[in-house]
Amino acid sequence: MIKFFRKIRKNLLQEGKTVKYLKYAIGEIVLVVIGIVIALQINNWNENRINNLAVKTYLNNLIYELTNEQIILEFFIESHSFKYYSMKYLLIMEGTNLYDPKADRKTEIPPYKPIAYWNKKIPKVYDKEFIQLTYSMMHRAQFPPMEGATLEELKSTGMYSRINPNLKIAINNYYAFKQNDFNGKVQSLALDFQASLAQDGYITTDTNKLADPISLIRNNPGRVGLIKRMIRESGWTILSAINSKERNKKLVVLIEEEIAKI
């Protein structure tokens, strides 16, 4: 092809057809420019296609993480439900005034559902086994994931800027709410409770050695107050986790809609 164009130029010059040669040269330049523009467009199209595929992969991975997170949030709800109801049970056995959720405008705590480490109903009478379990579980920390590796990678690669701004706002809001809602207050109060026991030479597992483990809180308003606060914070944590799970599901739907558009 190059030899063909070169032959045409040579013939035009040898025949003295300067004007025709200039027109031809201009035409050739135009063809070259058009070729370059087409090549650039193809390159840009191919680059956009590759980037879109990468964004789709990240978004699908994010859906996978969020779906798994729903399972973790459900476990989180169940574990804090045990804390909420088991510590209320401690106060009943101690004989003190119960924590009133209505005062905190919190009356919609779901009923207790049996879970792995206590697959029965909350007892209504004195049950030493349940009391021991309540003491041992109150300081066990359960924290939901805050931000997955996929989102961090998406941000670090610069692909996050290619996502629909409205979807980015939804993703940012989801993790911001979680950061605010799950602040570890229950765990902090449980550690304070353990420190209170330590002052009298006990740890929570010492309840196995006591004839009446309720004696650890009986006539001890400081420890009763800590339990009331743990009940209160567990209740708020349960409601936050339920709301987070609902936001999670809605976010998954938005991400699926975005993937369909790419």
The pLDDT score that the predictor gives to residue 59 is: 92
pLDDT digits (tens, 9 = 90+) for 4-22: 545 555 554 455 555 554 5
Any idea what DSSP says for residue 157? T
More confident: 100 or 206: 206
Cβ burial 80-110 (10 Å sphere, 16+ → b, else e): bbbbbbbbbbbbbbbebeebebeeeeeeebe
Give the pLDDT score at 90. Answer: 94
- As a whole number of angstroms, the distance between CA 58 and CA 36 comes to 33
Show me where the domains of the chain are located.
Answer: 71-261
**Residue 231: pLDDT above 80?**
yes
Q: How confident is the model at residue 126 (pLDDT cuts 50, 70, 90)?
A: very high
pLDDT for residue 25: 58
Q: What percentage of the chain reaches a pLDDT higher than 70? A: 80
The better pLDDT of the pair 84, 31 is held by 84
In the predicted structure, residue 135 carries a pLDDT above the cut 80 = yes
Rounded to whole angstroms, what are the CA distances from 195 to 139, 203, 204?
A: 11, 8, 10
Q: To which residue do tokens 């558009």 refer?
A: 261
Which is higher by pLDDT, 1 or 129?
Answer: 129
The structure's pTM equals 0.76
pLDDT exceeds 70 at position 199? yes
- For 82-100, write each residue's pLDDT tens digit: 999 999 999 999 988 676 7
> pLDDT band for position 254 (50/70/90)?
very high
Q: Cβ distance 134 to 87 under 8 Å?
A: yes
Residue 240 has what pLDDT? 87
Highest mean pLDDT among 48-52, 108-112, 243-247: 243-247
